[in-house]
Amino acid sequence: MEIVEYYKKYIEFLGLVLRLKIKPNLVIAKNKKIIYNDQEVDIKYIDINAKFFTEHNIIYINLDKHNMETHDEIFSVTHEYRHFFQYQQILNPNMSSEDKNILAIWKHNFDNYINFGNEDFYKQDIEVDANTFTIFIIQKLFNRNCYINSKFDINKIEKYLDIYAKKYTNRKIKSNLKKVKLDVFDLFKIKY
């Protein structure tokens, strides 16, 4: 299995877990060029590690900016997919199962986004949620601990972890992995 195929399946898995019918446009860069562009959306190589672009529902992953030995890009893919999920909930509030107050906060965060590097970055609910969701999924799938920056509010993290534990049970996660025929540990067998 190649990295692109793996991430296409992984994104399909995340879509099932989060019950999203729409899928993002996946764009992957390596060696300072785009190596995969799902829908041929107009995007150039960007020298950042990962980003969700709301305009075209793009999840952009730059493999040049990740440690390929530890495959830390799985964190970025999951994190950016969660932003994609958040944005879809905001666009379709009547179809969302998320709390309306949370949706209002997420919308405010997207509309007034504070970039990494500013201390207020860590106060944004969309970032607390995306980081916490990612930690939750990585721990469930790979049975490994993940670090979450201590600048995030621990009370919010614990609140989100409680929500995820109820929504995304081990049974649901395993069932969805089977549906997409994905062994998450295949990631570590991929050669670059």
- Express each pLDDT in 34-89 by its tens digit: 999 988 888 888 888 999 999 899 999 999 888 766 678 899 999 999 999 999 99
Would you place residue 147 in the very low, low, confident or very high pLDDT band (cuts 50, 70, 90)? confident
Query: In the predicted model, what is the mean pLDDT of residues 125-131?
Result: 96
Instruction: Identify the pLDDT of residue 1.
Output: 67
Q: What is the pTM of this model?
A: 0.94
| Token duo for residue 114 | 């504070």
Residue type at 73 in one-letter notation: E
> DSSP for 44-59?
---SSSEEEETTTTEE
- Residue 30 near residue 63 (C-beta atoms within 8 A): yes
The more confident residue out of 188 and 137 is 137
Residue type at 79 in one-letter notation: H
> Does pLDDT of 143 surpass 90?
no
| Dist. CA 45–CA 23, nearest whole Å | 21
